[in-house]
Structure 1
Amino acid sequence: MTGPGDGGGLELWFAPELRFLLASRHRGPDVLRVPYDLTSSLGHVVQSLGVPLTEVGALTVAGRRVPPEHRPGDGALVEVAARPRPQPLPPSATGFVLDVHLGALARRLRLVGLDTAYANDADDPELVERANAERRVLLTRDRGLLCRRTPWLAAFVRGTRPDEQLLDVLTRFRPPLAPWTRCPACNGGLAPVAKAAVAHLLEPGTRRTYDTFTRCRSCGRVYWRGAHGSRLEATVTAARAAVTGRG
C-alpha cells in the first residue's frame, strides 16, 4: 500500500467476526477507506490491514466474487467475509503443528486424540516447512506469520486461554476424536499395560490406589486416572460436544 496521492482508494467492509483482527484505529467505521496504489492485489491489501487470508471467506467487489489476486479499480467497495465454519479438513490432512506459544493447546489436542506436532524451539520457517511436508494444519496466534508465510493450510487460533483455544479449533475443523489414545507429552500412541510391568516406575501410593494403566509407546510415560481425572473428563466431554455441534 502507498500514501495518499499515489493512486486511488478502496472502501472495505469487514465481517463482524474479522474486525477484532484489524488494528484498533481501523475498527471504528463500518466501512474502512484506505489508500490504494492500483497495482497491489486485493489479498495484499486485506493482509496489510492485519487480517490473514486464512480467516477470510469470500471477497466481493461490486457484488461479484473475486480471488485474492484481483486488482480492483479506484473507489471500489470490497466486502470481506469470514471463512465459514465448520471448515472440513481435506482428506490429505494428517494432523496439526503448533507454534511455540501454544504448548498448553498442544497437550489438550493430544488428550482428545489428535495428531499434534509441537516443539518449543521451532522457528517460523521450520513450522511452515513441517506443515507443508507432513500435510499438517499450522495453528498460530501470530498474524504476521500467517501473512508472511504460505503454509498449505493454516488458521489463527482465537482465545487466550487453552480451553477456549481448544474449542475454537474443534468447532472450526470438527476433526474426528479419539480421546485417551495419545501421549499429551510427546504425541506418541498409548497402549494398555499391565500393572506388574510398570510397578517399578510408580510411587508407593499410586501402586496401592490404582490398577489400570496405559503407557506411551514412544517416550515410555505411564498414565492412570488420577486426581485430575474429573477435570480431564470434562475437557473431553466439552470437546465431543464441540465437534458434534451440540456444545
Structure 2
Amino acid sequence: MTGPQAHGGEAALHVHVPAELRLFLPSRQRRRAAAEDPHGVSCPYDGTSSLGHVVQSLGVPLTEVSELRVDGVAAPDSHRPPDGAHLTLTPMPRPQPLPPSAPTPPRFLLDVHLGALARRLRLLGVDTAYRNDADDAELVRQANAERRILLTQDRGLLRRRTLWLGAYVRGSRPDDQVTDVLARFAPPLHPWTRCPACNGTLAAVAKEQIADQLPPGTRRTYQTFTRCVACGRLYWAGAHHARLTARVEAARRASEGEGPR
C-alpha cells in the first residue's frame, strides 16, 4: 500500500503544527494550519529524510520543539518516518528544562540584532553577553565554550548542528522580547547589579573616590554611586531612573506571572 500523495505524485507526510509554532511556517501553510486541517500541513517527502530535516524544511527550528511524535509514538529527530505518516510537534514548555551541563543560573549570548534586549536583561542582573560585530560562527563558538544559551531571531543560526543550545526570541519590541525570555527560561533577577554597557558586575563606590570624575551638577545632586568592576563606568539614580525602575518592575511582575498594571 502506498502513502498519501503530495502535488506532482510525490509521497507526503502530514504535520500537525500547534499554534505556538505556526509563526515559523510560510504564510500559505500558516493559513492552512490555522484552519485546523484534520490531516495537518502536507509536506512532500522523499522517503529518506530524517524527522529533523522535515521539520526544519517547514521553517520550524528544532530548538523550539520539545518532542516529535510519529503516528502517536515519540521519535528522535534522526528517525525516518514512513510515507503518509502523521507527525505531531510539541513546543518547548515554559519554563524550559535545561540540560545538566547548563550553568545555574542560565547565561545568555545575543546575536547582533538584539542589542536593546541585551541592555534590558543586564539591567535586570541577567548574565548577558553581546557584541555587535560577531558573525554566526563566532557566536556558535562562544555559546558552546561558555555554555551560554544563544538567543536570536535568525532561524538559520538556530539550525547550525554544532550549536549546543539556542532559542528563538519572540516579539519585535524589547519589552515583549524580555517577557518572552523570562517566561521561557525563568532566570533569577538581580536588578542594578550588572553594567548595561559591558555586562560586568557593579560595586558600590564612595563618592569621594570618584568625585573628580563627575560633572559638577551630578556631584552636587547625588550621593550614591556604583562602578563597573570591568569597564569602570559610573552609575547613579539620574534623570532616567524612574523610567528604568518602571521597566524593572514590569519585568519582575512578568517573571512572577503577574499581569500588567
TM-score range, shorter chain: over 0.9
1:213 aligns with 2:225: yes
State the match for 2:36 in structure 1: none
State the match for 2:191 in structure 1: 179
State the match for 1:136 in structure 2: 148
* SS of structure 2 residue aligned to 1:40: coil
Residues 64, 102 of structure 1: CA spacing in aligned structure 2 closer, same or farther, 3 A cutoff? same
Gaps of 5+ in 2: 1-5, 34-39
Q: Aligned match of 1:99 in 96, 111, 115?
A: 111
Q: Distance in 2 between matches of 1:203 and 1:89?
A: 46
Q: Distance in 2 between matches of 1:104 and 1:5?
A: 47
Q: What is the number of residues matched between the two proteins?
A: 245
1:83 aligns with 2:92: yes
* SS of structure 1 residue aligned to 2:41: strand
Cα deviation 1:169-217 (Å, max 9, x = unaligned) = 0110001111111100001110000111111111111111111000001
Q: Distance in 2 between matches of 1:183 and 1:135?
A: 21
Q: Compute the TM-score of the two structures, normalised by the length of structure 1.
A: 0.94
Instruction: For residue 244 of structure 1, report the CA deviation from its aligned partner.
Output: 2.3
Q: Which amino acid aligns with 1:72?
A: P
- Bigger Cα displacement from structure 2, 29-38 vs 182-191: 29-38
Cα deviation 1:92-117 (Å, max 9, x = unaligned) = 32511110000111111111111111
Q: Aligned match of 2:244 in 229, 232, 238?
A: 232
1:243 aligns with 2:250: no
Q: Which amino acid aligns with 2:51?
A: L
Instruction: For residue 137 of structure 1, report the CA deviation from its aligned partner.
Output: 0.4
1:40 aligns with 2:49: yes
Instruction: For residue 242 of structure 1, report the CA deviation from its aligned partner.
Output: 2.4
Q: Compute the TM-score of the two structures, normalised by the length of structure 2.
A: 0.89
Q: Distance in 2 between matches of 1:88 and 1:73?
A: 31
Instruction: For residue 88 of structure 1, report the CA deviation from its aligned partner.
Output: 3.4
Instruction: For residue 6 of structure 1, report the CA deviation from its aligned partner.
Output: 8.0
- Bigger Cα displacement from structure 2, 13-22 vs 236-245: 236-245
Q: Which amino acid aligns with 1:9?
A: A
* SS of structure 2 residue aligned to 1:68: coil
Q: Which amino acid aligns with 1:131?
A: A
State the match for 1:27 in structure 2: 30
Q: Which amino acid aligns with 2:18?
A: A
- Bigger Cα displacement from structure 2, 89-98 vs 103-112: 89-98
Gaps of 5+ in 1: none
Q: Aligned match of 1:121 in 126, 133, 136?
A: 133
